[in-house]
Structure 1
Amino acid sequence: MISRRRALAATAAALPLAVVGGAPAVAGVQESRRSRAHRMRTVFVAGDSTAAGKSVSAAPETGWGMALPFFLHEHLAVANHAVNGRSSKSFIDEGRLAPILEAIRPGDFLLVQFGHNDQKREDPARHTEPWTSYQEHLLQYVTGARARGACPVLLTSVERRRFDAAGTALATHGAYPRAVRALAAEHGVPLLDIAALSLALWQKLGPEPSKRYFHWLAPGESPNYPDGVSDNTHFHPPGAIEVARMTARALRSEQVLGAHEVRRLSADIPESWLTWHEES
């Protein structure tokens, strides 16, 4: 009898798990839970040209979203959906929020930074009013992410480079940052105050040193800009890297991410790590 029992046990052990009693369902559920627990989470970015990835023909113009992965742990992927020239309104109207909401999963993050193009009153396709339509559009990103179990994060717009005659860095976004702060407080959304952080950085650097962070080129300095360029909105690699760094630091300080989920916050990041995409 004992030998028979041993034989049956040995046979059962040798069989595929799928045919042994009720184990398959339990094992399948456990495996599914493990898979979800270890799935790489994604940080989605919805924004404008200050964050967007840039093409080879635009280099050395750089969006801060291009540098963000250098400051996040390898287990966090970055899906940068930011696009040049978009506002909180036009991004939605063009159907660009929809694919983010289709892809986003529980545990993911959605960073939302608009404002530069929302200010353009002359363009009804992009313009929003700070305390009404701007907040209404931003709320669509928030509710869309939350409905899918993801964490929305609102960012005030990174500041342009503008100084007065005394060398004081000036805020350039009017009421829009205040409207973001109020919306975040009202709906309990994590807020990264990049407007305030970037303004402090430009002030620390000063009028002339800050030019290195922005899209300034002398004639002949780059084959992509033979006549040179003086752009106080968009970044060169040093500026994009520093804005990405301040974003990662804010994600940690606001407890959106844990200390183990960010990295290199005080490290020098080589510009050679940045890549520009080929024209599609």
Structure 2
Amino acid sequence: MDEAAEAEAPPNADEAEISGWHMDEAAWYDTVVTHWTKAVSAEDNDGVLGGWGCVDEEDARGSLAFLAQTLGVPAAQWPIAGYRALDCGAGIGRVTGAVLLKSSERVHLVEVSEALLAQAAVKLSEHAARIECSQTSLRDFAPPAGSYNLVWCQWVLGHLTDRDVVALLHRCRSALRPGGALFVKDNVAPSKQCPYDGKYMLDEENAGVIRTHNHLWALARAAGFKLSKTALQTNFPEGLYPVRMYCFVPKEESACCV
């Protein structure tokens, strides 16, 4: 874990306060589902990245480097034999294609939008034997116990309420194989810009919220995880909130390993 993150460890994180959402939760999810099923183009990375398709290559480069450092297996030995990954909120398969299929033998893509998932199947058609696709909301998705070595959540938790983030991560914890890990990659906001108890701010353009580093960490701990490693994504353009990568492991395990 880097020293900056250690110094910012949230107090009483094991008992993180999951307060009420800032609006009616049903109305919130209506907005989110409308955004991802109707408003977002399924054609390219620019559509699913809110106009920031230019970060795609650098994003993948940062994710691959973080995975290599965390998994302890050189990229030259990837995909790791027997490894199975879960891509939560897979969209058009951007992360699966650029990151997860490089590190794992098989990847399970879960996405609420039929249009985005259909595009993912086309985009990843040459890897059809190595992927599985499920169209469902992450609020409902119940992964089978002991199914994955690696669970990846990138730019998706901001579309879920705090309560549903903890519930999803708790289910993902049960779905990990021994030695498995949860990876979260997301924008983080300074608490002074977060009007909701200093925990998060609205990202209306993308029908989501941006949480603080401390609050993201606290939610993961409330779901039964501890932080194994974290790092900032580098070389992103100005104008974006910082993007941080996290590797979480179940509290009862000492480190991420193969």
Fold conserved between structures, TM > 0.5: no
Normalised TM-score (structure 1):
0.31
Between Structure 1 and Structure 2, whose CA radius of gyration is higher? 1
Normalised TM-score (structure 2):
0.33
Structure number having the greater strand percentage: 2
